[in-house]
Chain A
Amino acid sequence: MRRVSIGTVGLLALVLAALVLAAGCGSSGGGATATPGASPTGVVNITMWHGDLDYAAKADNKLVAQWNKANPNIHVTALYNGSNDYALQKTLTAIAGGKPPDITYLFGSWMANIAKSPKVVMLNDLIAKDPSFDWNDFWPAERLAATVNGKVVGLPALVDNLAIVYNKKLFDKAGVSYPTAQWTWDDFRAAAKKLTIPAQKQFGWAYPADASEDTVWHWEAMLWDYNGDILTPDNKQAAFNAAPGVQALGMLGDMATVDHSVYIDTTNTKIQQTFNNGHIGMLVTGPWDLPAFPNVQFGVQFMPANHQTISGPDNWVILNNGADRVNASWAFLKWFTAAKQQMYYDLQTGALPTRQSQQKLQPDFQTYLTKYPGTDLFVKNMGNAVKARPTIPQYSKISTFLGQAIVSVLLGKSDAKTALDQAAQQTNAALAVPGQ
């Protein structure tokens, strides 16, 4: 904390220095173009900010090099943004500074925020004019999450979803049969209870309870599975405190405070390690977590009952630096997000296919499934992600209200109905503020 003032100033200095550098690279690499758009040589230079490291960055760079070689008129420079967690802040700073990148990687939950910027290129017309782009090839949840008030704000860059990941050894030892696609929530609860052995510090399930969006989206999948909704269809009122929400949160609360079958991590930092060490029977998590479990022989199964899941797609957003650069960015992204290029990326990284047609790309798709055990079910599970979180600017606030409600029930401080009603009241107040 004593470091905070120095740290904050230092961080700011670094961000600014990085921006100056990025801007400098942009213009020097830009063939000394004084005005945005085509240089005298006819080459359009565009910059793409991404958050990939290691093999993922390698895959990006390989694809970009391939593009640059095949397209001498459009030169793409891919730059690491420092971390996707801060991508929105940095993009906004760059927009304010007048030198934004042409393409930037942003989390899906930010779409409603970035959509307010006049710099963002809405993609509806470009998509409509270009049938070969095939927008509907992207999963429904991706399209919903990229759309704000009917405007397409970004192109899907990365997608995932939640399913049950279970430790086979613990199931065998407890004599519980593995989760099936026919499981109900009662089956889930009963299994978690049987898998819980206090003396061995073993739990049936684990729940991230830091009241962040991570806490919330796990529960939202349950809410949808119970046939509930977050908001009313017009996004004007909370709907999560109706009967399905109370049932879903009530069951979660009972598992935590009656069965004691849930390892509750209020700091949301220890669940992966605990599962990998064989203390947790089941997790509800996504494909990104699988590499963190080398010690566990795990299986993957759909969510219980209706198999409803939630998907967290991230997007590429195009920023307007003049018509030439927008067209160049579109041309590049169209190629970059096409099935063939995405399949290459997924083969290198284990990320889920962003396009449905990737499943037809053989033998690559089969190689991919063999290379990344467990992803098979996550790919199938994309079809179960049919709803999306509301793409409205107030969502981040609603998420904190829900986060508090869920954690207060998990810790036994409140019952489901009271907690959700309070969150609904706060949500309705936030939604009533005009001009957002």
Chain B
Amino acid sequence: MSLAPDSRVRRALGSDHLAGWMFVAPAVVLIGIFGLVPIAWSAIMSFQANDLVSAPSWVGLANYQALAKDPAFIASVRHTLVYTALFVPLSVAGSLLVAWALNRKLRGVRFYRLAVFVPVITSTVATGIIFLWLLDPVFGLVNYLLSLVGLPEQGFLQDTNQALLCIVVMTVWGWLGFDVIIYLAALQGIPQELMEAAQIDGAGKWSSFRNVVLPFLRPATLFLVVWSTISALQLFDEIYVTTRGGPLGATTVIVYYLYQQAFQFFNAGYGAAIAYVLFMAILVITIIQLKVGGRGVYGKS
């Protein structure tokens, strides 16, 4: 009896669908305005010569054709790919190790977990400045430590061959905590019975890790690989606060090059074309990753 008014309201609203959409409406509107509109707008801009000031003119595919021949863009693609190829495996494997170490009953384990996560919530500007000083070739602590053990001093961010590697180290350190949290959650979701069963069957530590833990972690790993790859391809903040693409362009990645084109040289059309090339690349790479990695995920097969 008491259900009657409720169901009337429900009928009045049409269906659960409508109610659901109403709940998400604020988010949808915001994402629409601040997400979808700019996405569509930059698609249009990528076919224009647009300096953000004077009236834009249509240039068809000229921006994209110019990109294919732009050595600076090709170099930025190369830097991005090198960075991604280093960052993704290092951060995923590294975080698995750390999560494994933290997934046990230790004194003060909460403190360690917090310590691992702190870099994630620290502002990139702050960590960037800290690394700038740590890695300073003259006054930096790292070179001082190297000199103590008799190793030659390095140029780090000032060396065109080392700068990108330093950015890899910096970002792996900065974002490890996020991956660790995901892995910790996944590790804690592994049923204890399975581990015990494996042990009873005579599996050693390594064998049970390989045959029980790793398959269970596969969805988390897939998520982290996809997520880290997307993030790595969009690297910007750390470059902006430390090397600004230098020295001599050695750390100019795709998004930084986009920023330079659009907001320093006011080639907004060209910048939009770069954004769309990157978008398509991320889309293709993600689909491939999901296709390859999604096969045989536990619970899916």
Interface of A toward B, CB cutoff 8 Å: 1-5, 7, 9, 12-13, 16, 89, 92, 96, 113-114, 116-117, 201, 203, 209-212, 263-264, 266-270, 274, 279, 393, 396-397, 400, 404, 407-408, 411, 413
Contacts and interface: CB of A to CB of B under 8 A. Distances in A.
Nearest to B57: A435
B53 A113 contact: yes
Contact of A212 (B234, B242, B244): B244
B202 to A, nearest CB: 42
B231 A269 contact: no
A90 B243 CA distance: 25
Given A210-B244, A270-B133, 12 more contacts: A1-B175, A4-B236, A12-B34, A92-B53, A116-B54, A117-B54, A201-B138, A210-B243, A393-B51, A407-B248, A411-B158, A413-B248
B61 to A, nearest CB: 18
B184 interface: no
A411 B236 contact: no
A92 B52 contact: yes
B270 to A, nearest CB: 12
B132 A201 contact: no
Contact of A269 (B38, B129, B232, B236): B129
Given A2-B175, A2-B231, A404 B53 contact: no
B247 A266 contact: yes
Contact of B265 (A2, A5, A397): A397
A13 B247 CA distance: 32
Given A4-B255, A117-B53, A408-B248, A267 B237 contact: no
B157 interface: yes
B264 interface: yes
B178 interface: yes
B295 to A, nearest CB: 26
Given A12-B34, A404-B249, A413-B160, A89 B234 contact: no
A117 B56 CA distance: 12
B244 A267 contact: yes
10 contacts: A4-B235, A9-B35, A13-B34, A89-B263, A113-B51, A116-B54, A270-B136, A274-B139, A279-B139, A407-B246
Contacts of B243: 210, 266-267
B157 A1 contact: no
Nearest to A408: B248
A113 B136 contact: no
Interface in B243-266: 243-249, 255, 260, 263-266
A393 B54 CA distance: 12
B290 to A, nearest CB: 19
Contacts of B289: none
A5 B30 CA distance: 15
A256 B265 CA distance: 30
A264 B248 contact: no
A137 B129 CA distance: 42
A113 B266 contact: yes
A5 B31 CA distance: 12
A209 B247 contact: yes
The CB with the most chain A CB atoms within 10 A, among B129, B136, B255, B263, is that of B136
The CB with the most chain A CB atoms within 10 A, among B35, B53, B133, B238, is that of B53
Contacts of A266: 157-158, 243, 246-247
A3 B238 CA distance: 10
Interface residues of B, number: 43
B139 A201 contact: yes
A191 to B, nearest CB: 20
Nearest to B250: A266
Contacts of A117: 53-54
B238 to A, nearest CB: 6
B265 A4 contact: no
Interface string B156-177: 0110100000000001000100
Nearest to B38: A12
Contacts of B235: 1, 4
B124 interface: yes
Contacts of B53: 92, 113-114, 116-117
Contacts of B178: 2
Nearest to B31: A9
Nearest to B175: A2
B246 A211 contact: yes
A393 B267 CA distance: 11
A83 B54 CA distance: 24
Contacts of A269: 129, 132
A7 B231 CA distance: 13
A2 B255 CA distance: 13
A411 B237 contact: no
A397 B30 CA distance: 36
Contacts of A408: 248
Contacts of B265: 396-397, 400
Contacts of A393: 51, 266
Contacts of A212: 244
A212 B232 CA distance: 25
Interface string B117-133: 00000001000010011
A89 B245 CA distance: 21
B38 A267 contact: no
Nearest to A436: B51
Contacts of B232: 1
A416 B34 CA distance: 47
B34 A16 contact: yes
B234 A1 contact: yes
Nearest to B268: A92
A210 B265 CA distance: 17
Interface in B97-141: 124, 129, 132-133, 136, 138-139
Contacts of B157: 266-267
Contacts of A270: 132-133, 136, 139
Given A117-B54, A201-B139, A411 B255 contact: no
Contacts of B138: 201, 203, 263
B161 to A, nearest CB: 11
A407 B158 CA distance: 11
B168 to A, nearest CB: 12
Contacts of A407: 246-248
A102 to B, nearest CB: 18
B86 to A, nearest CB: 14
